[in-house]
Amino acid sequence: MAERGASALSLPDDWPAHPDPILVLNRMGGFDWDLDTGLFHMDARAHEIFDLRPEEYDGDPRTLSVRVPQAEAIRLDALVAQAIKDGSENYGAYFRMRLRGGTLRWTHTQGYIRRDATGRPRRIIGIVRDATEELDDLAARRTEAALDDARREQTSVVQLTTAALAHARTVQDVIDVLKDTHGLTHLGATSLVMGLVEAGRIRLIAEGPEGSFVPGTLVTGIDEPYPMSEVVRTLTPRFIESPEEFAGGYPMLWPHITDLKITSAAYLPLIVQARPIGAMGLLYSDRRGFTPEERNILVALGSSIAQSLQRAMFYEQEKDIAEGLQQAMLPRTIPSVPGADVAVRYRAATIGGTHGRDIGGDWYDLIPLPGGRVGAVIGDVQGHDTHAAAVMGQLRIVLRAYAAEGHPPATVMARASVFLHELDTDRFATCLYAEADLSTGVVQAVRAGHIDPLLRAPDGVCRRAPVPGGLPLGLSAEFGSLDYPVGTIELDPGHTLLLCTDGLVEQPGADLDDGLDALTALIASGPEDVRELADLLIDVAEDRGGDDDVALLLLRRRGPDTAQAGGRLQQHVAPGDPEALAEARHMTGAAVRAWGPSDRADEIELVADELITNALMHTEGAAIVTLRVLTGTDRRLRVEVEDSSSALPRRREAGESGVSGRGLLLVDLLADGWGVEARGGGKCVWCEFLVPEEA
């Protein structure tokens, strides 16, 4: 570090407060550019030349962009870079800068490149000065040189325009580059018109400055007497060198553009592979005629624009196909779900660059299931291309089929993983499948490498709902790890379950946990209506941008149509705890007296006691007893007994003298319906009794 410091120029402590008097006398400003830190120091005179107040400049050379037009900045950057690369000691250049009032002024700069002992450039010391008078004085004696400069500038315009067009992805991007005020200034034109050939006609896509549109020219035939039609028809440029020539050649058009004070015009066919795809017109108000060199430059410009237009048109066509494929792969409609409000949204990825694709492998789905249940799916296939969308479509259909067949969530996920593994693809997918019983609010969820769902309460409090997870789809089959543990979520009335892909969570420069925290805060402060909340979340994702697509599904359980007396009761019964068992029996009796007709009280209490006893006798661990009233077509009282064993209960004959084995026979005889559901690593045995409202 010592050598580097010693080899660089040092400045006075009070520089640039007291610039060199010699520079001031010569109306020059000085600058010192530290290439290590990037700071560009200027003295007071340099501030005046750049028409910048001291408080308007922070030492960052990019701040000068308000005065140096982009084209000039690009040229200066290239000049300095070449001088550094060539090992030159100095450089000099004239450039135009835009004053505070908007006018352009010629300025001159010279720089001396200081290098250390190793030859590495460390600093650039130089001057900048107003070159207006100098160039005005030399203009008369350098007419031919000025013409050469003009030709070189026009060539630079073609190069700069071509460079700008290289970043244009869409047809509108191409138009924006050419219609930009600075773009027209560089081209030297007053107005620009452009049209595309479509089905034997020319459709106007750019009409130049505001107010220059000519009525009746939005769509014109190729055989009509307009200059753009002529150049498309003949594939030959049309150079109009005077107002008289314009008025005589195109009497239908000329009266509409006289206010533009046109003195000459150049109409160019936009040709790609010997086929016209459109035409462009440049209208001038400060010149007459075109030299052969100028004509050649404009023809070259037209060729560059044609290539960019074709590339943009191909991109838009491919984008339309990709978006159509994406929409075809997603569900066309989402079924209405009794007892729930549902909202789904999808936002395509926007990836920068000419070869970007606005498509991805994220998807959502909502699957009606028997018994009033519904399956909610969110997933993300690796990649952002048409192949990802195609794999997504196949995976969505397969997952829907497995769920509709009645398989439990873990089986649905395992079979989907095997299917993806057997596909001819190297893609994997993350997925979350949640099966919700809206009558009870019980949600069974499995997760394959996906982010956890979120749960929002009616008061707005939002939290993560942890679900044990397995490997992503495809990978779990490849590595023989197809076990997907099932998590249980209680979705009470008014609560909202939110499933999303990581595109909604991930933020540049932040880890996933921070993104989830920000998302939960946003949801907590968002509107209660699921559709409005979904719109808010997608709008935020849209504003943030990013290179990942987003899929979103919100499921809000509505409250019952009629009030439920008592709502839901639950009791935890530990093995060997007679008091807890007695409390569970007491709770059952109280629920029956409050919710059910008295004539079924004994039956309900007997069956509930049998289920609790079976759970405590035949499994290890505690039992969780839940009673609730279900409303709908028929009013039902539901008894659930949950334990930690995955072994399913089975009916067996007790024999004439047997004292056990009659439990499930008794349940089957007295209950109006019963069944078994997987709950995480255990199960839930439930039964239901019809309990009509008492008069």
Q: Is the pTM of this model over 0.85?
A: no
Residue whose tokens read 């800068």: 97
Per-residue pLDDT at 325 exceeds 60: yes
pLDDT reported for residue 637: 87
pLDDT digit string (tens) for 393-441?
889 999 999 998 878 888 899 999 999 999 878 899 999 999 988 877 8
For the chain, give the number of residues: 695
Q: Are 109 and 92 in contact (CB under 8 A)?
A: yes
CA distance 689 to 672: 5
Average pLDDT, the chain: 82
pLDDT digit string (tens) for 162-191?
777 777 778 888 878 777 655 555 567 777
CA distance 517 to 539: 18
CA distance 285 to 243: 10
The closest alpha carbon to 67, from 93, 108, 33, 103, belongs to 103
Residues 6+ apart with CB under 8 A from 29: 19, 23, 42, 43, 44, 45, 46, 47, 48, 49, 50, 127, 128, 129
Higher pLDDT, 205 or 351: 205
Q: Are 354 and 167 in contact (CB under 8 A)?
A: yes
Q: What is the mean pLDDT of residues 242-267?
A: 86
pLDDT reported for residue 416: 93
Torsion of the alpha carbons at 170, 174, 179 and 181, rounded to the nearest 10:
100
Per-residue pLDDT at 512 exceeds 90: no
Q: Are 592 and 602 in contact (CB under 8 A)?
A: no
Q: What is the mean pLDDT of residues 467-494?
A: 88
Q: What percent of the chain has pLDDT over 70?
A: 85
Per-residue pLDDT at 377 exceeds 90: yes
Per-residue pLDDT at 655 exceeds 70: no
Tokens, residue 645: 């064993």
Residue 54 DSSP one-character state: G
Per-residue pLDDT at 27 exceeds 50: yes
Tokens, residue 367: 């699957």
* Omega before 61 within 30 of 0, i.e. cis: no
Q: Are 169 and 315 in contact (CB under 8 A)?
A: yes
Q: Which of the four pLDDT bands, split at 50, 70 and 90, describes residue 659?
A: very low
At residue 437, the 3 state secondary structure works out as strand
Between 26-30, 38-42, 149-153, 532-536, the lowest mean confidence (pLDDT) is in 149-153
pLDDT digit string (tens) for 288-316?
888 888 888 888 888 888 888 888 888 88
Q: What is the mean pLDDT of residues 652-674?
A: 69
pLDDT digit string (tens) for 88-139?
999 999 999 999 988 899 999 999 999 998 889 999 999 999 988 887 777 6
Higher pLDDT, 33 or 192: 33
Cα-flanking dihedrals φ and ψ of residue 538, to 5°? Answer: -70, -35
pLDDT reported for residue 658: 44
Q: What percent of the chain has pLDDT over 90?
A: 25
pLDDT digit string (tens) for 51-99?
999 888 998 988 898 999 999 999 999 999 999 999 899 999 999 999 9
Per-residue pLDDT at 568 exceeds 70: no
pLDDT reported for residue 356: 44
The closest alpha carbon to 221, from 204, 207, 206, belongs to 204
CA distance 252 to 511: 64
Q: Which of the four pLDDT bands, split at 50, 70 and 90, describes residue 498?
A: very high
